[in-house]
Amino acid sequence: MSQIEPARKSVPPKPRSTTVLSGRTKKFGTAATRTAIPDPNGALYAARRKIQPQAVRGTFRTVKWAILAVTLGIYYLVPFLRWYRGPGEPSQAVLLDLDRGRFHFFAIELWPQDVTYVMGLLILAAFTLFLMNAVAGRVWCGYLCPQTVWTDLFLAVERLIEGDRRERLRLDAAPWSMEKVRLRTMKHAVWLLIAWWTGGAWVLYFADAPTLVGQLATLRAPTAAYVAILTLTATTYLLAGHMREQVCTYMCPWPRIQGSLTDEHSLNILYRVDRGEPRTSAKKTAVLRAAGQPAGGCVDCFACVTACPAGIDIREGLQMDCIQCGLCVDACDTVMGKLGRPAGLIGYDTEANVRCRAEGRPTSLRIVRPRTVVYGLLVAGVGGLMLQSLATRSLTGMSVLHDRNPLFVTLSDGTIRNGYTVRLINKRPVERHLSLSVEGLPDARVEVVGGTPDRLPVPSDATQEFRVLVFAPGGARLGPSLPVAFRITDPASGEGAVATDHFKAP
């Protein structure tokens, strides 16, 4: 990603740290004053500084609350949605049935053979992420990533119990007292409750939710469920409660990858250097301007820094730690509003436009450009292929396995017999009777042990194995191995499937 060069027309720029999108950074100073600069010693570890972000109000905060409510609502409630699939079939709309090897997603049912759809979905998600990044930076990180959503929720609880930034900083610095113990106990108890509920909701996706809730309440659930809940409780509590921005900065690979997916025309939350610099206090601005001196819009109030959950100063340029959550925009817009100045000192902008404005050139928004077109085509292509494949996929299947020993049997009348194990697959929620035939072997006769080839019953949403014997008349010139095709057909729907194997002969 290109870097922002702070451009000031009249006043020489103060030396500042540059945009840091790769390489290690080290933080110096207090939460209010620190900057991110390359660590000259190349240290691999920097101790965490506790960040106590200030609450803000504004458009981005409202959007984030709405996204938090919707995403958490989906996560916690979806296991309880019902979807009728027929008698004896699971009625949970979204269910990962590991015992039966089925993934139910409303009307879609995937079998282990359909693993390609899962891979396709992952590829589609990756390309969508690339596209989002190329158009508008780390939209995923700032608004949708589970780490961001749960951290926001934990922060809201912290604020509710311990107060806003100033009260929390005071509490951090205060010696231990009954009041501090009470507040801390309450906070951690609620965090643990949310973390436990998060783990509890997760296991509900793997079994019938109402039944599993009953089992969990009466301590009769499978051990795996308790282990999963405990693991997720611990990870949620640690990641959202304690590690927070460190997950984004150090554990997640995405900040390092995203630099190669954006360019100077990508929208990002940026400080508009051309408007903000030179920073001047509100009182001095009018005096300076009246005297013909330059005075920027930024009053150096640090509201944007204290609001930042990553603890960074957006005025230093685009930084790897920035998750593009937009809270600094709300903070700055509030300050500008109070001062009666136009909002938008920080906002979605492109590096190219920042530079253009500084140089007095016209700005433009280039959403459509080669990389967004390529990512868009990839998303459309993979999505279209998956949809087409899902819409036309067969709900009937079969596999054939030739007997290993003996490969063939010559009967007393010269007839050659081969044995096969044939597994028929019925993905429909009704029992079906399929008809089996063999092609490629002249005058072949097919027998099914315990059944008739014209009417092989396969239960609903299940597989059924049959032992199949194929006979070739004596005297036929076959060669040692003749390719044959097994075909099954559903006479009711015309649907069918084919599997190939060989007919062995002397």
Stretch that binds ligand SF4, among 64-72, 101-109, 309-317, 390-398 (CB under 6 A): 309-317
Stretch that binds ligand SF4, among 7-15, 71-79, 250-258, 312-320 (CB under 6 A): 312-320
Q: Which residue from 183, 204, 229, 303 is in contact with ligand SF4, where contact means CB under 6 A? A: 303
Query: Rule CB under 6 A: is residue 1 a binding residue for ligand SF4?
Result: no
Long-range CB contacts (< 8 A, 24+ apart) of 170-176?
172/50, 172/52
Nearer to ligand SF4, 147 or 426 (CB): 147
Stretch that binds ligand SF4, among 216-224, 328-336, 476-484, 496-504 (CB under 6 A): 328-336
* Tokens 């690979």 sit on residue: 253
Peptide bond into 253 cis (omega under 30): no
Ranges within 438-457 binding ligand SF4 (CB under 6 A): none
* Cβ within 8 Å of residue 268, ≥6 positions away: 136, 137, 138, 262, 318, 324, 348, 349, 350, 351
Q: Considering the complex, what minimum distance in angstroms separates the CB of residue 275 from ligand SF4?
A: 9
Q: Considering the complex, what minimum distance in angstroms separates the CB of residue 306 from ligand SF4?
A: 9
* Cβ within 8 Å of residue 87, ≥6 positions away: none
Query: Rule CB under 6 A: is residue 346 a binding residue for ligand SF4?
Result: yes
Query: Rule CB under 6 A: is residue 397 a binding residue for ligand SF4?
Result: no
Q: Report how far residue 355's alpha carbon sits from residue 264's, in angstroms, rounded to the nearest whole number.
A: 10
Query: Rule CB under 6 A: is residue 269 a binding residue for ligand SF4?
Result: yes
Nearer to ligand SF4, 269 or 422 (CB): 269
Nearer to ligand SF4, 51 or 436 (CB): 51
The Cα-based distances of 277 to 7, 285, 297, 299, 324 in angstroms read: 8, 11, 7, 9, 22
Q: Considering the complex, what minimum distance in angstroms separates the CB of residue 326 from ligand SF4?
A: 5
Query: Rule CB under 6 A: is residue 304 a binding residue for ligand SF4?
Result: yes
Count CB-CB contacts under 10 A for residue 226.
14
Applying CB under 6 A, the site for ligand SF4 has a residue count of: 28
The H or E element containing residue 293 is: none
The Cα-based distances of 170 to 29, 160, 163, 167 in angstroms read: 18, 15, 10, 5
Stretch that binds ligand SF4, among 112-120, 322-330, 427-435, 450-458 (CB under 6 A): 322-330
Nearer to ligand SF4, 326 or 376 (CB): 326
Long-range CB contacts (< 8 A, 24+ apart) of 106-111?
107/83, 108/390, 109/85, 109/427, 109/461, 111/425, 111/427
- Judge contact between 296 and 279, C-beta under 8 A: yes
486 DSSP β-pair partners: 438, 499
Phi, psi of 421 (to 5 degrees): -105, 120
Query: Rule CB under 6 A: is residue 236 a binding residue for ligand SF4?
Result: no
Q: What is the DSSP string of 383-427?
A: HHHHHHHHHH--SEEEEEEE-SSSS-EE-TTS-EEEEEEEEEEE-
Query: Rule CB under 6 A: is residue 312 a binding residue for ligand SF4?
Result: yes
Angle at 386 between CA 381 and CA 389, to 5 degrees: 120
Query: Rule CB under 6 A: is residue 141 a binding residue for ligand SF4?
Result: no
Q: Considering the complex, what minimum distance in angstroms separates the CB of residue 273 from ligand SF4?
A: 10
Q: Which residue from 4, 209, 295, 327 is in contact with ligand SF4, where contact means CB under 6 A? A: 327
Query: Rule CB under 6 A: is residue 302 a binding residue for ligand SF4?
Result: yes
Cα 198 off chain centre by: 16
Query: Rule CB under 6 A: is residue 267 a binding residue for ligand SF4?
Result: no
Query: Rule CB under 6 A: is residue 325 a binding residue for ligand SF4?
Result: yes
Peptide bond into 442 cis (omega under 30): no
Query: Rule CB under 6 A: is residue 472 a binding residue for ligand SF4?
Result: no
Q: Considering the complex, what minimum distance in angstroms separates the CB of residue 399 from ligand SF4?
A: 52
Residue 475, amino acid: G
Q: Report how far residue 410's alpha carbon sits from residue 412's, in angstroms, rounded to the nearest whole number.
A: 7
Nearer to ligand SF4, 164 or 431 (CB): 164
Query: Rule CB under 6 A: is residue 323 a binding residue for ligand SF4?
Result: yes
Q: Considering the complex, what minimum distance in angstroms separates the CB of residue 15 from ligand SF4?
A: 18
Q: Which residues bind ligand SF4 (CB under 6 A)?
A: 269, 271, 276, 298-304, 307-308, 310, 312, 314-315, 322-328, 331-332, 335, 345-346
